[in-house]
Structure 1
Amino acid sequence: MTKVQLKKALNPLMLWGLGVGYVISGMYFGWNLGLAEGGTYGLAIATAFIILMYVTFTFSYTEMACAIPKAGGAFEYAHRGLGKHLGFIAGIAQNIEFIFAPPAIAAAIGAYLHLVYPSIHIMVFAIGAYLIFTAINILGVKLAASFELVITILAVIELLIFAGVTLPEFEMANLQLNPLPNGYEGIFAAIPFAIWFFLAIEGVANVAEEAIHPQRSILIGFGSAIVTLVFLCVLTFTSAVGVAGWEAVVYPEGSTIPSDSPLPLALSQIMDNGHVLYKLLIGIGLLGLIASFHGIILAGGRATFEFGRRGYAPKPLGKVQSRFRTPANALIFNTLIGIIALFTGATGEIITIACFGALGLYVVSMFSFFALRRKEPAMERPFKVPLFPFFPLVALVIAVVALLAMTYYNPILAAIFFGIVAGSYIFFLLFLNKKME
């Protein structure tokens, strides 16, 4: 009996929409918390290094994604290059990233809608979002990707309108107001919030198996997505902080508690909250959150699916739903874990754990890159990373430094992350290792 396969339905434009959509919520909330840690200069320096990491990493990752277009992404490459044990480590790190990022975004969606409908509890909106977008993903990848493309384009347009409104009020002096409040240590403390600007871009590789002409489509989708995101990151950071300084987009007036809404705070410096443009921009701001939430659910489902298909997790997670040809079991499993995480109410901590997962993934992926180059030099590589070995080496070094810095500044969360990895690995050794092919 022939196994049901994932459906090939994604073109380069859809892959661009997914790549940008996975990440774009990072432009709308979360990044400004890095200003409280490092100020304008601290977050800017951290972001510059993280941009360098993501550019070099993305090109290196694209080489592997084009050569091995599988839904598992990172752990598929690690399995082949480093063996099943490090393949498991790459896979569990990837799953932690993709499972823990959506609850943080769902909480932001719930908080946003709660402002509009205060009589309805935040959790109702957050759980409702999970159920709706998991259902869309189960119904078909083309439907999911088409929906993602539309809301991503609208979210990008909104950021461009935001910049168009705020840049006329930009003053260079505002970037120099208390620019390094916590000294040079603030640079390292700001790292997870710089990562939040780009977290999950690598999810493009997880839909490679569903791409039409994957070798060509992945290269175009990945490359155009990272260029778009770097541009939006610099534009949003500069236009928001340049209006009235970093503190104006971190602390609401009369409060010492950091806000999750930097763009509305920036707009409030130049127009009344009753202004039609203010209401328009805030009204469609929800789309940026939805784009990332929906997109990461899509990518995370593929990562968990391949984990099960490969034997790193229980086999039912690796089954394809016969009617819609989507990884329904994996999507439902991730949603259940995400909803449990939602009930902790620890949004900031969840973001940081997701960042730990991402950095763990990046480190093992770059070791996999070098291993594959050494072990399989004759492998067909439709795309080769430029400036080898400089690009993958730079990505590896920055990822290692960022992981060490985050561990130093977040020891308890680091212990939780490494505890999850260790516990999962022990479960793998005891119950799944001998059953693998």
Structure 2
Amino acid sequence: MDNESGKLKRSLGLRHVVFFGLAFMAPGTVFDTYGVAAFQSNGMIAIGYMIALFVMLFTAYSYAQLVKEFPSAGAAYSFAQKAMNPHLGFLVGWAILLDYMLSPMISALLLGISLTAYFPAVPMFVWIILFVIVITTVNILGIKFAANFNTFIFLLSLVAFVLFVIYAIKFLLNGGGVGTTFSILPFHDKEVQFSGLMGVVPILCFTYLGFDAITALSEETKNPTKTIPKAIFIIPLTGSVLYITATYLLQLVYPDIRSFVDPQSVQYNIFYLIGGIFLKTVFVGTGIFASTISAVASGSSASRIMYAMGRGNVLPKKIFGYISPKFHTPVYNILIVGLVALSALFFNLTAATSLINFGAFFAFAFVNISVISHFYIKKRNRSFKGVIKYLIIPAIGAIFIFSLWLNLGWHSFLLGGIWLMIGFIYLVNQTKMFKRPPEEVFSEASEL
């Protein structure tokens, strides 16, 4: 891990890693996506999250298996590179960069839109620039500082969530909504078509993106082969408790889903209904917090993926492989992520979201396949237990993710395909028409 500039520092424990992943997931997005998802499916979003969790746990399992074997900062990039093929590994890393690099930009754009609505006299570009400066500074100051910052902000968001639960229960007990706190409506409704429910599962799966990002912190985590796998499961399970609780109460409070005037902002109507301007204001503030911690987490992950590529000379090492001796962070990469986030000044939100979905699902599919390639094919773990662990479970995960990937819109495939083509052209040039493999990413496995 040593290089001419410095090295990453192991300073993160299980608590830091879990909160870091939860920050990336930004559980508060459950409120932002609820209206659209509920309107499209006519309800039962709580059971939809259970289905989404079931789907994502297969991929979480594959990440956990691979991080034990390859605990490096490259995450999906390193997994596919070492388990399958160096060239394919580069393309997988190139794809997942879409997720990590564009997430801060989306956070900046959403925050800019929100604050401009409340302070119309202040131009949106001012909020976006200030936001990018803050998240870039936090990430440069060190991973421990960033993790503690994310933990603090996430706990504030959790307080807002508890307030919502209290106000919702009080509203229901006073006869509002369905008039009861116990109902099977969010889990079973004969008027809801199963096909309609399954149609929104990709949207719900999107809210789980983040459990994977912590694998990029392997070289900054104490005892990563034990800590990271635990966190990989704790994060989606914890998020699911919040998601299911929130959507259960949202549907009971406002059961007439078809009356939504604007599904994208219905959550603020519900907050005002049960808690007045106080609760609505609290959640506007929470949205700012969620955008901040999600951008810090995704920016950290993106910079570590680029560092892994730079360290191995897959990307120019002097820039991408540089670690600040003072802060022990890949400063140049963090600055690059900040510059990409500034594209929120002119980028289209729909296009950016499409790219993130494309990149994440593409990489997830190959992470599942990497388990089969490494453990079942290369290491020949083909006992009865091995077949289940290293063939059946990851194969199911790959099929689930590939199905979600195929259901993405044409924007995703057009823009994602262009991004992959750029990466492919760079790879062809870097490997001299595949006459030599990309440089191997150095593994610290021997040091762990």
Q: Which TM-score bucket, shorter chain as reference?
A: 0.7 to 0.9
Aligned CA distance change for structure 1 residues 376 and 206 (closer, same or farther; 3 Å): same
3-state SS of the aligned residue for 1:120?
Answer: coil
- Between the two proteins, the alignment pairs up a number of residues equal to 418
Aligned CA distance change for structure 1 residues 436 and 349 (closer, same or farther; 3 Å): closer
How far did residue 29 of structure 1 move? 2.0
3-state SS of the aligned residue for 1:311?
Answer: coil
Aligned CA distance change for structure 1 residues 371 and 89 (closer, same or farther; 3 Å): same
Q: Is the 8 A contact 2:57 2:233 kept in 1?
A: no
How far did residue 31 of structure 1 move? 4.6
The answer for unaligned runs of 5 or more in structure 2 is 440-448
Aligned CA distance change for structure 1 residues 127 and 404 (closer, same or farther; 3 Å): same
2:32 equivalent in structure 1 = 29
Aligned to 1:362, which of 361, 364, 377? 364
Q: Is the 8 A contact 2:140 2:329 kept in 1?
A: yes
How far did residue 311 of structure 1 move? 3.0
Task: Give a deviation string over 1:278-322, Cα, whole Å, max 9, x none.
Answer: 433443442222221211111111112212223332322122122
Percent of pairs identical after alignment?
Answer: 18
The aligned amino acid for 1:194 is L
Aligned CA distance change for structure 1 residues 386 and 141 (closer, same or farther; 3 Å): farther
3-state SS of the aligned residue for 2:111?
Answer: helix
Aligned to 2:206, which of 196, 201, 216? 196
1:337 equivalent in structure 2 = 340
The aligned amino acid for 2:252 is G
The aligned amino acid for 2:403 is V
The aligned amino acid for 1:220 is K
How far did residue 394 of structure 1 move? 2.3
> How many angstroms apart in 1 are the aligned matches of 2:356 and 2:199?
16
3-state SS of the aligned residue for 2:43?
Answer: helix
How far did residue 73 of structure 1 move? 0.2
How far did residue 45 of structure 1 move? 6.1
Aligned CA distance change for structure 1 residues 422 and 345 (closer, same or farther; 3 Å): closer
For the pair shown, the structure with the greater C-alpha radius of gyration is 2
Q: Is the 8 A contact 1:174 1:243 kept in 2?
A: no
1:304 equivalent in structure 2 = 306
3-state SS of the aligned residue for 2:359?
Answer: helix
The TM-score, its normalising length taken from structure 1, stands at: 0.87
The aligned amino acid for 1:27 is V
Query: Equivalent residues in 2 for 1:390-409 (5 A)?
Result: 390-406=392-408
1:243 equivalent in structure 2 = 253
1:325 equivalent in structure 2 = 328
Q: Is the 8 A contact 2:113 2:124 kept in 1?
A: yes
Aligned to 2:237, which of 213, 218, 227? 227
Following TM superposition, where does structure 1 have runs of at least 4 consecutive aligned residues deviating by more than 4 angstroms? 43-46, 172-180, 384-388, 432-435
> How many angstroms apart in 2 are the aligned matches of 1:412 and 1:283?
32
Task: Give a deviation string over 1:368-426, Cα, whole Å, max 9, x none.
Answer: 111110355399xxxx99855443222111101111111xxx11331111121122111
Query: Equivalent residues in 2 for 1:244-259 (5 A)?
Result: 244-245=254-255, 247=257, 251=260, 255=261, 257-259=262-264
The aligned amino acid for 2:146 is A
Aligned CA distance change for structure 1 residues 194 and 242 (closer, same or farther; 3 Å): same
1:211 equivalent in structure 2 = 221
Q: Is the 8 A contact 1:93 1:360 kept in 2?
A: yes
Aligned CA distance change for structure 1 residues 268 and 130 (closer, same or farther; 3 Å): same
Q: Is the 8 A contact 2:375 2:390 kept in 1?
A: no
How far did residue 101 of structure 1 move? 2.0
Q: Is the 8 A contact 2:213 2:301 kept in 1?
A: yes
1:371 equivalent in structure 2 = 373
How far did residue 356 of structure 1 move? 1.3
The TM-score, its normalising length taken from structure 2, stands at: 0.85
The aligned amino acid for 2:274 is I
Task: Give a deviation string over 1:81-108, Cα, whole Å, max 9, x none.
Answer: 1111110121011101111222222111
The aligned amino acid for 1:12 is L
Query: Equivalent residues in 2 for 1:22-421 (5 A)?
Result: 22-24=24-26, 25-41=28-44, 47-168=49-170, 169=172, 171=178, 172=183, 175=186, 180=192, 186-187=196-197, 189-245=199-255, 247=257, 251=260, 255=261, 257-259=262-264, 261-273=265-277, 276-315=278-317, 316-340=319-343, 342-374=344-376, 376-377=378-379, 388-406=390-408, 410-421=409-420
